[in-house]
Amino acid sequence: MKKLLAIFVFIAFACTSSVQKPEKNNESKVTLEQMLMEKSIYDFTLNDIDGNPVDFGQFKGKKLLLVNVASKCGYTPQYADLQKLNEEYGDQVVILGFPANNFGGQEPGTNEDIKQFCSANYGVTFQMFDKISVKGADKHPLYRWLSDKDLNGWNDKEPSWNFCKYFIDENGELKKFFPSSVNPMDDEIIQLIKA
């Protein structure tokens, strides 16, 4: 009888312990999710194309257009439109270019190659960054934030090709995703800038 009672107590203790553990794990998970939700676009620091760190905190209060770019793509002429947008609306929106070699190997060059190409062919003066990955297992945390609704609040779309665009408002909120086919000078982008 004592053995049976001891077994019953042991089973009861084991069941109670296993019930409590998931609660602790759920609490940890919620805390982690809350931390991820609190992360904003302004928490990032990335190197520019020259290797200098750029703290995104400096963009507080400004509208941003983030674009994954490539030098050997059918959409590469959009560099000209991005530069035009920069020249006409640069006081209202900051354009950030992120070279990436994720699509068809269309950005094989080094940062120096990319910088030279952009300057010589399109006169690019908007902010360009270090080449990163914008999709896949090695996706940069910035693009993880841009394409994960648990982090940015609503959007799960990652770049489907080169020259996809993400529009961030002056409060740091992701407002719109544009596929490659949408030109940087499109009316919808201009209206978001002017709003």
8 A C-beta contact, residue 107 and residue 100: yes
Averaged pLDDT score across all residues of the chain: 87
Summarize the confidence of residues 1-10 as an average pLDDT.
Answer: 46
% of the chain surpassing 90 pLDDT: 80
d(CA 92, CA 152): 22
pLDDT beyond 80 at 38: no
pLDDT beyond 80 at 65: yes
Q: pLDDT, tens digit, for every residue of 144-188?
A: 999 999 999 999 999 999 999 999 999 999 999 999 999 999 999
Q: Kind of pairing, strands 63-69 and 93-99?
A: parallel
d(CA 80, CA 110): 21
Question: pLDDT value at position 189?
Answer: 98
Work out the number of other CB atoms within 10 angstroms of the CB of residue 54: 16
Tokens of 158: 């990652």
128: enclosing H helix or E strand: strand 127-128
pLDDT beyond 60 at 34: no
Summarize the confidence of residues 61-71 as an average pLDDT.
Answer: 98
DSSP 54-117: EEGGGGTTSEEEEEEE-SSSTTTTHHHHHHHHHHHHTTTEEEEEEE---STT---S-HHHHHHH
Catalytic (active site) residue 73: yes
Tokens of 51: 């290797």
End-to-end CA distance of the chain: 79
With tokens 């699509």, the residue in question is 103
% of the chain surpassing 70 pLDDT: 81
In our burial notation (b when 16+ CB lie closer than 10 A, e otherwise), range 1-33 reads eeeeeeeeeeeeeeeeeeeeeeeeeeeeeeeee
**Nearest-10 crossing angle of helices 187-194, 78-89:** 30
Identify the three-state secondary structure at position 2.
helix
Q: pLDDT, tens digit, for every residue of 109-138?
A: 999 999 999 999 999 999 999 999 999 999
Question: pLDDT value at position 39?
Answer: 87
The pTM score is 0.81
Sheet containing 127-128, strands listed edge to edge, beginning at the edge strand earlier in sequence:
127-128, 93-99, 63-69, 165-168, 174-178
Q: Which candidate in 15, 73, 118, 164 is catalytic?
A: 73
d(CA 52, CA 64): 19
pLDDT beyond 70 at 1: no
